[in-house]
Structure 1
Amino acid sequence: MNQKVQNGPKSAEYTSDYKAGQDNVQVLGMDIHNPVFTTSALAILAFIVLALAFPADAKVMLEGARTWSIETFDWLFMVGGNVFVLFCLLMIVLPVGRIRLGGAEAKPDFSRMSWFSMLFAAGMGIGLMFWSVAEPVAYYTDWWGTPLNAVPNTPEAAASAMGATLFHWGLHPWAIYGVVALALAFFTYNKGLPLTIRSAFYPLLGERVWGPVGHVIDIVAVLATIFGLATSLGLGASQAAGGLNYLFGVENSITTQIVIIVVVSAIAIISVTRGLEGGVKLLSNINMLIAAALLLFVIIAGSLSGFFNNLSMTVSSYVTDIVPLSNWVGREDEKFYTGWTVFYWAWWVSWSPFVGMFIARVSRGRTVREFMIAVLLIPTVVSAIWMAAFGAQALDQVQSGTGALASGLSDVSLAMFQMLDNLPLSGITSALAIILVLVFFITSSDSGSLVIDSITAGGKVDSPVPQRVFWAVLQGLIAAVLLYGGGSEALKALQAGAITAGLPFTVILLFMCVSIYKGLKTEV
């Protein structure tokens, strides 16, 4: 990416003379935005100390906050998710879709394939590796509630399970990411504002975004991002260690999990020092090639005609059930509704500052219409194909009584490997799956470090290498320390805190939609 071209041409309305990094200070070779960097770092340190000193209390408090947020404001999460989908679809069909991010003459920095690979890897690639198998099996067998009260272990439950799984990984989560990404890309590349979360609120707050209000917005974004990434890295290390134990007999111990975190963090540090071109872009392209090979193998090893039947069932069930699954009034499937859907919506929202900002970072030169098609529609299609291959294959094994999955879901981290175990060349495909999981973790850590670095550098995208390394190291350190000091329970407490942050961010995203509309109107 051409780092010198950070901002596009300014237009007359909704612009500011404030420059990226204007209030930065130089400390230990780092170019930091003092209120945001210092406050975020101290808050992270305080959390780690308290979580290690009082692990049980921290877990009870944060999980209590998460439960209260989800059960009290379920309607807000559901309304917000529906609004975001409609808003993003409107961006595709309305005349504003012709607006180019960066101005009429702007050219894309990456090919379409590399661009899509990066945004998909950052968005949810790692989640699909585990939940594309575990989630349909969980719904079909009533592991924790069934969607729309479908009767477990019936053909209707199979169709409902596939549709509900795609519902959680389709239009709604990508719309959440799309709102944040479009806001940041537009106000950065078309209005000349710094690449930081607060810039999206300039039409609503004016110059106040550069003061305390803006500091709070950016600090919350940093904390949600770092905690979400550290949680995923820690829990992901537990899952990867479980896979290594299942396949090769490697002991699934804290030591093994910390070694995985160290290896992933070390490669992420190397990648983050190489920047977008030599780091995230390269790893994301590798990701997509391995994922495509694994997907093609599962389709062929199963049944080609069966795959197309499953794809048809998945899409038709998704289309049929999307409205009742999006409803929040009078739901009778309470266990599924709050335990899965509302939980997911809060989780996606808490990840939206990180994923949205990274997508914005790599999307200069695209029209709004092209941007939304790539961020909203194409990932939904890819998710449907992936689910129809992996999830439906797992359900076939459950229904036919084949393998470990026939006994139900025992361990989410092993579901993918248990499914592959009943296909040819299971040793090779399972090894590929572990490699894919690890590379997805690396790209998430790498892209997350670049995002946090930009926010804590006042919106600059070319901060010093030591600053990028600092955040990559900190992610791994948080995950390793909490895992060592409190085990998976400490990480789940951290996850609960990140999900709780989804509540205020849902409100922020709703205001962001208004801000985007006001800004785009000045360009039409």
Structure 2
Amino acid sequence: MSQESKDIEKEIEKLEEVYDTGHEIGEQNINPLGLDLHNPVFVVSALLILLFVIGALVFPDAASNGMTAAREWIGESFHWLFLSAGNIFVLFCLLLILLPVGKIRIGGEDAKPDFSVISWFSMLFAAGMGIGLMFWSVAEPVGYFTEWFGTPLDIAGGTEESRQAALGATMYHWGLHPWAIYAVVGLSLAFFTYNKGLPLTIRSAFYPLLGDRIWGPFGHVIDTLAVLATMFGLATSLGFGAQQAASGLEFLFGIDGGLQTQVAIIIVVTIVALLSVMRGIHGGVRVLSNINLAFAALLLLFVLIAGGIVAFLNNAATTITGYVQYMLPLSNPVGREDETFYHGWTIFFWAWWISWSPFVG
């Protein structure tokens, strides 16, 4: 082994050393009603969410206008940051594959995975895509092709070029970039928890920058923001999912797909999710995710049979070609003229993925 290789091995060994912080995990927690909650993160997060919900219920129009204005301002002011961050995350993940540091095993050299590859993939699929993919995988390319709300790179709709661009842009929104965002957060949580001995919280990823200050106000703010981002990301996913399910019930069975039906769906989903969490990852989340993946496989089989394998393969080839062809132009934040598509779709998705990343990670 060359001296350079030995030096690299030593650096990797240093990276794997457990931090000696003098902080006991859970020492700031409180236990009301037998629950294990972090103080003050839980209290502050719960109060802020409660205030937001009450405000939205009492002043729905003002809340809607305020959130719309805030979203538009963020999109106008920070669109370049969202897109650049997504690109950086992809490049970072590619570098981890190529660099020696990517050989670090989560949990240590002797660590064994708790789940099979299928179960791990199914949980990623259910958490990372889930019902959103079921809806947008059809709505997005159709919307782009028909010029419903902007088109990728302002390509005129209804043409063969727009068909390829529509499929490629859809894959762009659900391909490497969102999974890179999830991977960075997931790797950060896993590495600092299972290799460095820190709590399974977002603040742990900031230990190299903040040191022991993560146990104080800085860390509380970081975790509170992560909780709020996750809740709003969950609200987005659950809201879209409830609308989709309600529309399906109305179309198939004539059940009114209005607000009452959507609320009922949200309540049912919340109860199922709560029961799943109470049963733990092995007995709840894993089982539901495996069932979800099985249904997805059945849907894929139905599409293959009903649509034809040849047509499926042709569309798959068109999608991959469009993805490769348009990835770089769609990743460029400079000089974009397709503002409706760029802000209304890409920036919206990137904000959604980032807010969803603490949960998926």
Normalising TM by the smaller chain, what interval?
A: over 0.9
1:111-510 matched pairs, under 5 angstroms? 111-356=116-361
Query: Does 1:104 pair with 2:109?
Result: yes
The residue matched to 1:73 in structure 2 has which SS?
helix
Structure 2 Cα separation of the partners of residues 333 and 262 of structure 1: 38
Q: For structure 1, which segment, 326-335 or 81-90, has the greater mean C-alpha deviation from structure 2 after superposition?
A: 326-335
Q: Give CA deviations for 1:144-192 in whole Å, capped at 9, x if unaligned.
A: 1111121210111101110011000000111111111001100000000
Which amino acid letter does the alignment assign opposite residue 244 of structure 2?
Q
Q: Give CA deviations for 1:83-116 in whole Å, capped at 9, x if unaligned.
A: 0000001111211121110000010000011011
Give the equivalent residue in structure 1 for 2:79.
Answer: 74
The residue matched to 1:186 in structure 2 has which SS?
helix
Q: Give CA deviations for 1:33-65 in whole Å, capped at 9, x if unaligned.
A: 111011111111111121122211111112111
The residue matched to 1:339 in structure 2 has which SS?
helix
Unaligned runs of 5+ in 2: 1-14
Which amino acid letter does the alignment assign opposite residue 269 of structure 2?
V
Structure 2 Cα separation of the partners of residues 227 and 332 of structure 1: 29
Structure 2 Cα separation of the partners of residues 174 and 115 of structure 1: 14
Which amino acid letter does the alignment assign opposite residue 302 of structure 1?
G
TM-score normalised to the size of structure 2?
0.93
CA spacing shift, 1:114–1:232, aligned 2, 3 Å: same
Structure 2 Cα separation of the partners of residues 308 and 92 of structure 1: 29
Q: Contact 1:19–1:194 at 8 Å: present in 2 too? A: no
Q: Contact 2:89–2:177 at 8 Å: present in 1 too? A: yes
Unaligned runs of 5+ in 1: 1-9, 357-524
For residue 21 of structure 2, the aligned residue among 16, 21, 32 is 16
Q: Which has the higher contact order (CA 8 A, sep 6+)?
A: 1
Structure 1 Cα separation of the partners of residues 354 and 149 of structure 2: 22
The residue matched to 2:333 in structure 1 has which SS?
coil
Which amino acid letter does the alignment assign opposite residue 296 of structure 2?
A
Which amino acid letter does the alignment assign opposite residue 104 of structure 1?
E
Which amino acid letter does the alignment assign opposite residue 269 of structure 1?
L
Q: Give CA deviations for 1:212-252 in whole Å, capped at 9, x if unaligned.
A: 00000000111111222134323422221111010011122
Which amino acid letter does the alignment assign opposite residue 254 of structure 1?
L
Identity of matched residues, %: 64
| Count, aligned residues | 348
Q: Give CA deviations for 1:123-144 in whole Å, capped at 9, x if unaligned.
A: 0121110011110010001111
Q: Contact 1:184–1:199 at 8 Å: present in 2 too? A: yes
Structure 2 Cα separation of the partners of residues 62 and 332 of structure 1: 25
Q: Contact 1:70–1:346 at 8 Å: present in 2 too? A: no
How far is 1:25 from its partner? 2.0
Q: Contact 2:277–2:285 at 8 Å: present in 1 too? A: yes
Q: Contact 2:132–2:240 at 8 Å: present in 1 too? A: no
For residue 94 of structure 2, the aligned residue among 65, 89, 95 is 89
